[in-house]
C-alpha cells in the first residue's frame, strides 16, 4: 500500500489523508516500517527501527499537526530522541545511556504529528560528506550500488530517494543536507544560523551547524521549517522574524530576482564540463522565468575559510568527545583514524587560533553579505563532482587523503555555514547516464522565504519527483 502512496504523495498530502481518516495511523506506520526494512536490506540507511513499547510511545506522542501520522526517521546526530541513544555514528557512543528527553527540535516534530519510527545512518561525528561509518557500515545510493548517497545525512537521503519516506531529518555543518540531496535527487535547504534551535545544546561548529530535512517536495521542507523555526530560551543566535509562513512562500511568485551564477568555486579549479553545462542551462531557465541573470562571484579568501573550518572542526571534535564521554577515554579501536587525528589536532589548538578561525568565519560572512546586497541569489552546482563512488572520502587513512576527497564536495556549500546564510540544493539536472545533479542557490541571511518561492517556481518548471532511482 505505501509503495503506491509514497510514489504519489508527499508528507503533507499523507497527513491530509490521515486527517480525513482515509488511512489509519497504525496501518500506515506498520506498512511503512515493513517497507523500510525491505529497502534497508539493500541500502543500509537506518541504524535503528522502533518497535514494541518504544514505537507505541512514538505513535502516542504525535499530535494532530500538519504531518499527522506521517512516519519519520531522525538522524543519529545533533538530535536526541527520548528513550534511545544518539550514537553520532560512532562505536564509542554506541553504549551511551538513552536520552532522557527529546531535544527541542524533536519535540516540535512530534507536535507537528510526525511519528518517529527509527534513526538514520551518518558518518562518524558527521565529519565526512559521505556515509560510510566503520560502526554500522556504509549506506549505498539507491541510484547505483557502487555510489555513496553523500553525507553526512546519507541515511536519510537514501531512504527518501528510494521512496521509503517522503522526507527525513537531516543536519548540516558544512553541506550535510545539500550534498546528499544533490547526489540523491532530492530537495534540501539549510536554514539560516539561529533559525532552528539546537537546544538543549547552545551551538555547534561556532554556529555553522543547523538542521532540517531532505524531501521529495519543496513544500514539505517549507512546512517542516514552519514547525521547527523559532528560538528557545537562552539560544545564542536567532534568525530574523519572517513576514508570513514558509509554506505560504511556496504558493507565491518570487518576483524578478537578481541572480549571479558562477561556473567554478571561488579560488578553485575549473569544473567538469557536465557541471558547467548544468549551471548554464539553469541560468538560462532562470532568465526565461524573468529573472535578471549574470555571471559573477563573491570575493573571499576560500583557502583561509577552509583552514578556519579545519580548526573549528578539530577543536569541536576533541571537546565534544571529552564532554559527551563523561571521563571515558576512547580505546585504540573506538574511533575511526581520521576522527582520532582530528581530535588529537583539536586537543592542541589554543584559544588564539580558535578565535582567529571564528573571526575568519565572520570576515567571510561579511564578504558574502556585501555580495548578496547586489544579488538576491548566487547559483552554482551543489558539489564539484558528478557522482561519489564509495571509498572516495576515506576516514581510515591520513588527513591528507581525507581532505583531498573532502574538498570538491564542500567547495560551494561550506561557506554558507561559515557565513550563516540559507542555501538549498534543487535537483534540476541529470547526467547522461541518469544520475541527479543538484543546483545550489544561496540567499542572504534570513531569506528562506525567497528561496522557497524560487524553489517552488523551479519545481513547477522542471518537475523532478517522477524521476526515481531504479532500486
Mark whether 75 is an active-site residue. yes
Three cell numbers at 338? 581520521
Helix (H) and strand (E) counts for the chain?
16, 11
Place of cell 529497502: 39
Three cell numbers at 117? 519510527
- In Å, the largest CA–CA distance within the chain is 60
454, 364, 279, 465: CA torsion to nearest 10: -40
DSSP string of 201-227, one letter each residue? S--SGGGT-EEEEEESSHHHHHHHHHH
Mark whether 264 is an active-site residue. no
Cα first-last separation, the chain: 17
Q: Which of 75, 91, 190, 264 is catalytic?
A: 75
How buried is residue 253: exposed, middle or buried, by Cβ count under 10 Å (0-12/13-18/19+)?
A: exposed
Q: Which of 176, 192, 217, 221 is catalytic?
A: 176
Question: How distant, in Å, are the alpha carbons of 33, 69, 278, 450 from that of 49?
Answer: 8, 17, 38, 37
Question: How distant, in Å, are the alpha carbons of 68, 79, 173 from that of 309?
Answer: 39, 22, 10
DSSP string of 297-321, one letter each residue? -----HHHHHHHHHHHHHHHHHHHH
Q: Which of 152, 182, 217, 425 is catalytic?
A: 152
Mark whether 152 is an active-site residue. yes
Q: Find out whether 197 and 235 touch, Cβ atoms under 8 Å.
A: yes
Q: In a 3-state reduction of DSSP, which class is residue 119? A: strand
Residues with a catalytic annotation lie at 75, 152, 176
Amino acid at each position: 500500500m505505501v509503495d503506491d502512496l509514497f510514489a504519489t504523495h508527499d508528507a503533507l498530502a499523507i497527513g491530509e489523508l490521515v486527517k480525513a481518516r482515509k488511512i489509519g495511523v497504525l496501518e500506515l506506520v506498520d506498512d511503512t516500517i515493513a517497507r523500510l526494512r525491505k529497502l534497508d536490506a539493500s541500502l543500509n540507511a537506518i541504524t535503528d527501527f522502533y518497535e514494541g513499547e518504544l514505537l507505541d510511545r512514538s505513535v502516542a506522542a504525535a499530535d494532530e499537526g500538519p504531518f499527522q501520522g506521517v512516519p519519520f526517521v531522525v538522524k543519529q546526530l545533533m538530535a536526541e530522541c527520548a528513550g534511545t541513544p544518539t550514537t553520532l555514528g560512532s562505536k564509542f557512543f554506541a553504549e551511551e545511556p538513552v536520552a532522557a528527553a527529546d531535544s527541542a527540535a524533536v519535540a516540535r516534530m512530534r507536535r507537528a504529528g510526525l511519528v518517529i519510527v527509527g534513526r538514520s545512518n551518518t558518518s562518524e561525528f558527521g565529519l565526512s560528506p559521505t556515509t560510510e561509518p566503520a560502526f554500522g557500515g556504509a549506506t549505498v545510493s539507491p541510484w547505483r550500488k557502487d555510489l555513496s548517497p553523500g553525507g553526512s545525512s546519507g541515511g536519510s537521503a537514501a531512504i527518501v530517494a528510494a521512496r521509503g519516506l517522503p522526507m527525513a531529518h537531516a543536519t548540516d555543518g558544512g553541506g550535510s543536507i545539500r550534498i546528499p540531496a544533490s547526489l540523491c535527487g532530492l530537495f534540501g535547504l539549510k536554514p539560516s544560523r539561529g533559525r532552528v534551535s539546537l537546544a538543549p545544546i547552545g551551538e555547534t561548529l561556532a554556529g555553522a551547524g543547523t538542521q532540517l530535512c531532505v524531501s521529495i517536495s519543496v513544500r514539505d521542507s517549507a512546512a517542516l521549517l514552519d514547525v521547527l523555526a523559532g528560538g528557545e530560551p537562552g539560544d545564542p543566535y536567532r534568525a530574523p522574524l519572517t513576514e508570513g509562513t514558509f509554506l505560504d512562500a511556496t504558493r507565491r511568485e518570487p518576483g524578478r530576482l537578481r541572480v549571479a551564477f558562477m561556473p567554478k568555486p571561488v579560488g578553485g579549479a575549473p569544473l567538469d564540463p557536465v557541471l558547467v553545462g548544468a549551471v548554464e542551462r539553469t541560468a538560462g531557465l532562470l532568465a526565461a522565468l524573468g529573472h535578471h541573470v549574470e555571471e559573477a562571484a563573491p570575493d573571499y579568501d576560500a583557502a583561509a575559510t577552509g583552514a578556519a573550518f579545519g580548526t573549528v572542526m578539530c577543536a569541536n571534535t576533541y571537546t565534544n568527545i571529552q564532554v559527551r564521554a563523561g571521563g571515558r577515554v576512547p580505546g585504540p579501536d573506538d574511533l575511526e583514524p581520521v576522527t582520532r587525528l582530528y581530535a588529537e589536532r583539536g586537543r592542541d589548538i589554543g584559544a588564539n587560533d580558535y578565535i582567529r578561525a571564528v573571526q575568519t568565519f565572520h570576515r567571510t560572512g561579511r564578504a558574502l553579505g556585501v555580495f548578496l546586497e547586489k544579488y538576491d541569489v548566487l547559483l552554482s552546482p551543489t558539489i564539484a563532482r558528478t557522482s561519489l563512488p564509495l571509498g572516495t572520502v576515506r576516514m581510515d587513512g591520513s588527513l591528507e587523503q581525507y581532505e583531498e576527497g573532502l574538498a570538491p564536495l564542500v567547495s560551494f556549500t561550506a561557506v554558507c555555514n561559515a557565513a550563516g546564510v540559507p542555501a538549498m540544493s534543487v535537483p534540476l539536472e541529470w547526467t547522461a547516464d541518469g544520475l541527479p545533479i543538484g543546483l545550489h542557490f544561496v540567499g542572504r541571511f534570513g531569506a528562506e522565504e525567497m528561496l522557497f518561492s524560487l524553489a517552488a517556481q523551479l519545481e513547477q518548471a522542471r518537475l523532478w519527483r517522477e524521476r526515481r532511482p531504479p532500486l
